[in-house]
Each structure stands twice: as C-alpha cells, then as structure tokens.
Structure 1
Amino acid sequence: MNKRTRQLTAVLILGVTAAALAQGTTFLTIGSGSTTGVYFPVATGMAKMVNDAGSGVRANARSTGGSVFNMNAIASGELDAAVAQNDVVYYAYKGTGLQAFQGKANSKLRTMAVLYPEVLHVVARKDSGIKTIADLKGKRVVIGDLGSGTELTAKQVMEAYGLGFDDLGQALRVSPAQGITLMQDKRADALFYTVGVGASAISQIAQTVDVNMVPVSGNQAASLIKKYPFYVRFNVPAKSYRGVGATVPSVAVQATLVTSTALSEDAVYRAMKAIFDSEADVKGLHPSLNSNFSYAKAVKGIPAPLHAGAVKFFKEKGLNVK
C-alpha cells in the first residue's frame, strides 16, 4: 500500500467513524415554559446534565408557551421531551379535558419522572381589595397564556367558587412576563400562576408591588380535589415572598418530565441516567426540587405510562415499576 493509498484509507476510516458517531448521537429538545418560571431553569439544568454526561445523547432546552403547547409539540415531533403539568399530560394522553386535545388522544405519550408540586399562586395587588377568589368578580385578572396549564387551572379553580372567566372585568391572557408588567403598571388587579414556590415571576411582583396571596381552601378546595384528583392541598410557606407573612393554603398539581415512544428505550435510559442518577444533583437544580424530589415520589401520580427507558432506570434504583 503506497503513501497516497494509506492517506486515502485513513481519511475514509475517519469519515466513517465520524458518521457513525453522528448516527449514534440522539439529539433531545426539551420544552419548558416562560423564562420567568421554574420549568425553564429546570429544563436548562437537565439539558446541561445530559450534555456533561457524554453518553451519546445531546440536549437543549427551549422556552415555550407551557404545558399545552408542549404536549402538542411532542405530538408533532417539534419537541422530544418536555416539562408539563401532570393534569395537562393526562388530558393529552386521553384526548379529553381541553379543547386542544379533544378527539386527539396521544397514546404515544410516556412519563419519564414526576418532579415537584406546582402550586397555584393567586397574587393580588393590595390596593385592589381582593382577599378571596370570590373578590375576583369584575376585576382585571391575568389568567395565563392562551392554552397554558395556568389558564386551565384558573378556569377550574374559579368554577369551584361559582365563577367563570365571563365574570371577570377583564380576562388577561398573557405570558407571566407580561403579567408582571401589567401588575406593576396597575393594569391588572390579580394574577394566576401555577408554578413552583420561589418562582422569579412571583418574587419580582412581590418585590415591586404590595400584594396579597389569595387562599384556595375550605369546601371549594375540597370540591376541586374531588372533581379533579390531580390536585392536592399545598400550603405556600410563610415568608416565601416579600409581604407574605403567614402560611397561605392553596392547591397544587405536579410538574412532570414526559416524552413519547418516538424516543428509543436506550436513548431515554441514557438521558435518565444522566439526569437522575444522583438524587442530590436533581435536588440542586432548583429549590422546588430540593425539598420535594425523590425516586419514590418520581413514580407517584404519573399521568401517562412510564417510558420503557424510565422503567429500566427506576428498576435499577430498586423501585417496583412497570
């Protein structure tokens, strides 16, 4: 073999190796939510963990409109995985509950892990006089982005109090970032946001506006939980935000990492190993995870079946899953 032949052979081998490596890499786009919420930093942190692991999976996180958008984007293939409210995932899986999913059940949806409780925050300007959900009647209220999980939660909670969006003075369907501005500029009286405790959006409002945290409790909370079993009672701890001096009763759903059967068992298993192999590392991603995440909780209240790759991972961690 002459020198030129050896050089050509070496180039060919390198080219084949590079192609093989490229073919062996799975690229994972993870949908999150608004940059002012908890989904985005959690998804960004998870993508970094996947990339740092060097396991043949590469990931990036995308800011999106939230849970409903994420479910439709997984169905269309625009996203490979996403963080979403467990109730919204269930509705997408079953093809019910929301107009966006009616008659379009996505049986390919799969759960990777339940992450943390998403607490309904109902924040009102003190000068609005709003102290209860009933007081929202006739007021200007931010109910979440159109098609977001927050919009759905706002609708269901208001129904428990005998109210609908038509009872509001103005139903403002905007992003959390826009909602902050409206609250600060006195163009909104109150804001709904389903998000982990400590979210920057709520903190930002509380730092710049005198606010009340409106409770969801009593018989109304009980009827809500009975009708929609995804909800659980959850207390927002005192001093979680500026001006919130006492514990505020509310309700919560669960933030869940989901994917679809379009991703292979091996790819999901490798992503699971990269993200979840250490409980301590997962807890370090965000305060919402710090006090709430565990392997045992990660498989409780799953809204769609576990992905085969997640089953393999959790079985290795000693959990009885299928």
Structure 2
Amino acid sequence: MPWTAVCISKDDSLRFEQDGHRCLSYVEALNEAQRQALDSDPEVFLIGEGIDDVGGVFGSTKGLKEAFGDRVMDMPIAENGLTGVVSAAAGVGMKPVLVHMRADFLPMSMDQLTNHAAKWHYMSGGQTSIPLVVRSIIGRGWGSAAQHSQGTHSMFLSTPGLKIALPSTPYDAKGLFLSAMQDPNPVLIFEHRWLYDSVGPVPEEMYAVPLGEAIVRRKGSDVTIVAVSQTVQQAIQAADTLAEKGIEVEVVDPRTIAPLDMKTIMESVSKTGRLVICDVSCKTGGYGAEIVCRLAESDPALLQAPVHRVSFPDLPTPNSPVLEEAYYPGVDDIIAAVEAALS
C-alpha cells in the first residue's frame, strides 16, 4: 500500500497508531528492515564502522549484533579496501550491507563502487551480479562543519550501474531498503539524520517500494515542487502555508534519483507549468539540473516560467551556528521560490 502521509513528530500522541495503522520512527523502520533481511536470508551480513557499538549507528543497527552475532561486524577505517571486500563477497553470492555513518566519507569508496561494483555485471556479460547495498547517512547542523555535513548523492549520478535512493518517510526507509536487498546490483541509500526521529505508518510484514517509482505526496495545480529526503517534509509544510494564500502546490518525491521517474515529474509539470526543485546538497551538479535538462530535451514548452532551485550554496558548510542557519535553506526559502515561480 503506497502510504502518502508525511511523518509525524516523535512526540506526537499518534506515535504508535495513525488511522488505525502501526507507526514506527524512521530509524526503527530501518532497524526492522535490516533485522528482517538478516532473519530471512543467511547470505545477508552487515558491516560498518561502529556498527556494533552501543549506539548502533544512531540506533539503526542497535541490537542486531546481539541477535545475529558475526553477521554484524565492525570494520576498520579503511573504506576503500572494505568496499572491495564486500563487492567481492557480493560477486560470489552473498548479500552484504555496508553502512557509512557519514556520507562525507563515501568518496573513499568511490573507486570500488564506480570502477568495479557498478561495472562487473556489464563487463561479465551479465554472468556476475553484485547485490550490494550501501547505507550512507547525510549529516546536517549541530556544528558538523565542512567535512561532516555534505550530501554526496549527486556525485554518483553519472555512474551507470548504480541505483541511488533517498527515502523521506519511515515507510519508504523500510520499503526501499528491502527492495534494494532484492536488486541484483549495487544500490546506494542516502538517509538524512534529521529524519531518524520522524514517525509514520510502517507495516510489520516485509514489503518492497520499487526503485525508480516517484510518488505525489501532495496534489496541486499551480506549481510543482520536486523534493528529496528531508526537503520533502519542508516542501509539504511550505505547500500547506501557501494553500492559506490560495496557492495550490503539488509535491513530487522521486524517492530514487537513479533511476529517475521522469514520467511522474513530467505529468505534474505539464499540469502546473512551473517547477521548484529542492535538494539536500549544493546547487551545482545536483539531480535537479538533470530534471531540467530532460524536460528541455523532451518538451521545453511545458515550462511557463523559469525553474527555481532550493539547495545549499556552492560553499563548504560553516561551523558557526549563525552561519549554519544562513547556509541551510528551509521552509521560508521554498515558499519564496514558489512565489517567484508565480511572479
């Protein structure tokens, strides 16, 4: 069932039930998904730095070491080498999950991911598959500064053979992970740390959210917002505020940026004629530029106004709380972008 409700606050009284449905936090949904994957397939194993610590990677792997023993293992700070190990393990039939606590250090694995894991299926003529899932966490705020606050997902967009997911709800966090576990080749999942405490409906049974299928989170007729990860919640908050002014915004969540569901995006833009793109990364080279280019290639007449992008500035993230506040866009920035698209 494709839940479209936005997550509710963890402190909300509806924490455990919403419209009669079981609710979990985003991090609980991730933990349950991994537990079910480990329990259902003996070839699944988890590896990552600090994965078996008491905190369990912000709670996402908490208790899994105790339940599954050596199938949940810590790794040394040697990202490139360990990515080679798990890629090789996947190549011989195992199903590894590699957990990066910080997306900032995923580039340390880039050689193994882009030159090896992503290409072995093609280079072997389809004889070898690499069922590898890489979980990576996007940092933000709390003074994490330039080396611990980046969204690195767009770095991997130009590598054929990699799928890239950015779940925005607890339902998708579990469903996209379980879908990735069934994919025969590498899938990168980027999770926003600020979503971990958000809560929403999550079925107890195993289910899959298909990779490459966008979802319309909110219907509208005036402006299309395409948003990923944490910006989906911000976009819906902005849309609710704009609705009070008589502006109806449609919010589209691609869920994966590779593959990218242009059909759903184009259907929305063909209705509204205006587009705002929200990302959790710097502006230059983002997934939004690819959307705009594909629209222009397919049917430039769909756009009745210039496209507006809401993203980080093309600058390293500052450490100062005051500068941090100015650096990160929020709901007000999305509202301003929508109003600019209508002006």
TM-score where L is the length of structure 1: 0.31
Higher helix share: 1
Q: Based on CA coordinates, which of the two structures has the bigger radius of gyration?
A: 1
Scaled by the length of structure 2, the TM-score of the pair is 0.30
